């Protein structure tokens, strides 16, 4: 039986967070390391008592805060003194006005790339882990863990060291070298599982129910409700960086779908709090063709997602059975957006397009998002006359293999001028 709590009686001090509420039936639970509704098994999410009533005062407070996600602490499930605790302090990454990419794609309404490769471990995962670390602290966990498609393992390893936790993280055995080294270098335990991400995730769920996993905080399983809230900071930052304005269209990559659903939650909060004007926005989801269960469901008009066996170079997005898939479908349809996919060749082309036009080297997930943006414009689905934000969620240095075969020296020559002249590169 779920314990009934009343609003404003949290059991731990996590700022404005007051309860965990079921996304399916609305049943409320006290804040704790639980992730599924005891009544209907629906996913739980953080419910808040947010600081409404003085939007201008709140804006000023945020703008005076640190240059990281803790400037939004009044809107997050973290203690009020979070900025003083040892944490990697991610966020406030660059929103790049991408005029040259816009010209190439024919976007006239303003195109921006939110570049989360600038986070401490070079992916957006630092945001979600930072929140989960504070929840783990509040609940007394001493070991941090996760099931990861690559970036999360590195983010957890690094955050655990900074915050003084032990860590043991789980990845599919066949990830890119850049992801494996990033996950290993921080020194916690790293376990390769013989299987794909969905096998890793199933294994971790079993571990949580077993005495072997006792005392472990799995950031994206038993701490998932808190973890997810970290993605709201992308919504907050984008709007603040646009001058407290909503973009008209946002293109977001989908792995489990958590990031996309929480960006929508963040945008709705900003509207409800009066920090931005209430106007429509459209959310678009991006997948790789070789792992496109949400895109397939969107196109077929289904509201359930049929699991797939992933086969794509976009390994950070290779979740065949995405937990938040149905919610992504709801959001894309409700906002008038869409979910689309591109093949591996288009992913590589898009990585190079972004690098060539804006000097941003994205990982394969960024290639998926830029590639889908291009496709949606060509298909007349995305309106080029509207303000559009595209997410780059990771760093190309972690997925070098994707572009290495087609990216090398223009010429290799002897160190003399004749050889250089002969190569025809002068002028």
Ligand X SMILES: *Cc1c(COP(=O)(O)O)cnc(C)c1O
Question: For ligand X, what does the binding mask look like between residues 323 and 362, x meaning CB under 6 A?
Answer: ----------------------------------------
- Number of helices (H) and strands (E), helices first, in the chain? 14, 13
**Closer CB to ligand X, 10 or 124, in the complex:** 124
Distances (CA, A) of 131 to 77, 128, 205, 224, 364: 7, 6, 21, 10, 25
Among 87, 123, 321, 388, binds ligand X (CB under 6 A): 123
Name residues contacting ligand X, limited to 52-111 (CB under 6 A). Answer: none
Among 88, 393, 396, 403, binds ligand X (CB under 6 A): 393
**Closer CB to ligand X, 246 or 254, in the complex:** 254
Name residues contacting Zn ion, limited to 10-29 (CB under 5 A). Answer: 22, 24-25, 27
Whole-number CA gyration radius for the chain:
21
Minimum distance between the CB of residue 34 and Zn ion, rounded to whole angstroms? 12
Name residues contacting ligand X, limited to 357-386 (CB under 6 A). Answer: 363, 365
Burial of 29 (0-12, 13-18, 19+ CB in 10 A): buried
**Closer CB to ligand X, 98 or 319, in the complex:** 319
**Closer CB to Zn ion, 22 or 47, in the complex:** 22
Distances (CA, A) of 425 to 90, 143, 144, 287, 352: 42, 55, 52, 39, 21
**β-sheet bridge partners, residue 29:** 20
Minimum distance between the CB of residue 394 and ligand X, rounded to whole angstroms? 3
Minimum distance between the CB of residue 39 and Zn ion, rounded to whole angstroms? 5
Minimum distance between the CB of residue 258 and Zn ion, rounded to whole angstroms? 18
Cα gap 320→306, rounded to integer Å: 8
Kindly provide the b/e burial profile for residues 137-148, where b requires at least 16 CB atoms within 10 angstroms of the residue's own CB: bbbebebbbbbb
Name residues contacting ligand X, limited to 219-258 (CB under 6 A). Answer: 253-258
DSSP result, 12-71? S--TTEEEEEETTT--EE-SSS--B-TTT-PBEEEEE----S-HHHHHHHHHTS-SSGGG
Minimum distance between the CB of residue 14 and ligand X, rounded to whole angstroms? 21
Element (H, E) at 362: none
Minimum distance between the CB of residue 368 and ligand X, rounded to whole angstroms? 8
Minimum distance between the CB of residue 2 and Zn ion, rounded to whole angstroms? 9
Among 259, 312, 346, 388, binds ligand X (CB under 6 A): 259
Of Zn ion, ligand X, none, which one sits near residue 25, judging by CB under 5 to 8 A according to partner kind? Zn ion
Does 394 bind ligand X (CB under 6 A)? Our answer is: yes
Burial of 335 (0-12, 13-18, 19+ CB in 10 A): middle
Cα gap 168→188, rounded to integer Å: 6
| 325, 294 contact by CB (below 8 A) | yes
Among 29, 145, 287, 316, binds ligand X (CB under 6 A): 316
| 77, 12 contact by CB (below 8 A) | no
Name residues contacting ligand X, limited to 141-180 (CB under 6 A). Answer: 149, 151
End-to-end CA distance of the chain: 76
Of Zn ion, ligand X, none, which one sits near residue 123, judging by CB under 5 to 8 A according to partner kind? ligand X
Minimum distance between the CB of residue 317 and ligand X, rounded to whole angstroms? 6
Task: Spell out where 125-255 has E strands.
Answer: 143-147, 166-172, 189-193, 216-218, 249-253
> Which residues contact ligand X (rule: CB under 6 A)?
123-125, 149, 151, 253-259, 316-317, 363, 365, 393-394
> Which residues contact Zn ion (rule: CB under 5 A)?
22, 24-25, 27, 37, 39-40, 42
């Amino acid at each position: 039986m779920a314990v009934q709590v009343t609003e404003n009686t949290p059991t731990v001090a996590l700022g404005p967070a007051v309860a965990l509420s079921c996304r399916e039936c609305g049943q409320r639970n006290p804040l704790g390391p639980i992730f599924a509704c005891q009544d209907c098994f629906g996913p739980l999410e953080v419910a808040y008592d947010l600081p409404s009533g003085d939007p201008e005062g709140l804006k000023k407070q945020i703008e005076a805060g640190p240059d990281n996600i803790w400037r939004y602490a009044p809107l997050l499930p973290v203690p009020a003194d979070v900025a003083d605790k040892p944490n990697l302090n991610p966020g406030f990454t660059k929103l790049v006005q991408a005029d040259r990419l816009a010209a190439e794609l024919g976007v006239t309404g303003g195109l921006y790339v939110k570049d989360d490769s600038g986070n401490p471990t070079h992916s957006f995962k630092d945001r979600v882990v930072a929140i989960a670390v504070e929840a783990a602290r509040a609940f007394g966990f001493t070991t941090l863990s996760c099931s990861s498609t690559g970036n999360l393992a590195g983010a957890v390893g690094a955050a655990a060291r900074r915050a003084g936790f032990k860590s043991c993280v789980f990845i599919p055995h066949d990830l890119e070298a850049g992801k494996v080294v990033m996950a290993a270098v921080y020194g916690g335990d790293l376990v390769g599982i013989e299987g794909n991400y969905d096998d890793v995730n199933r294994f971790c769920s079993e571990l949580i129910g077993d005495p072997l996993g006792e005392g472990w905080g799995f950031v994206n399983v038993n701490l998932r409700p808190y973890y997810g809230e970290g993605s709201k900071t992308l919504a907050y930052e984008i709007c603040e960086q646009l001058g407290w304005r909503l973009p008209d269209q946002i293109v977001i990559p989908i792995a489990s779908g958590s990031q996309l659903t929480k960006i929508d939650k963040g945008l709705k909060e900003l509207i409800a709090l009066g920090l931005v004007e209430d106007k429509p926005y459209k959310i678009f989801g991006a997948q790789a063709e070789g792992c496109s269960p949400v895109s397939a469901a969107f196109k077929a008009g289904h509201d359930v997602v049929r699991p797939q066996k992933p086969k794509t170079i976009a390994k950070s997005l290779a979740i065949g059975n995405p937990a938040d898939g149905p919610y992504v479908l709801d959001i894309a349809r409700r906002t008038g957006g869409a979910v689309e996919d591109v093949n591996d060749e288009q992913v590589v082309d898009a990585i190079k397009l972004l690098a060539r036009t804006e000097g941003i080297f994205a990982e394969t997930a960024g290639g998926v998002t830029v590639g889908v943006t291009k496709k949606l414009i060509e298909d007349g689905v995305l309106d080029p006359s509207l303000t559009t934000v595209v997410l780059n969620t990771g760093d190309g240095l972690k997925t070098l293999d994707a572009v290495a075969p087609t990216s090398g020296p223009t010429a290799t020559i002897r160190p003399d001028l004749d050889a250089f002249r002969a190569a025809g590169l002068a002028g």
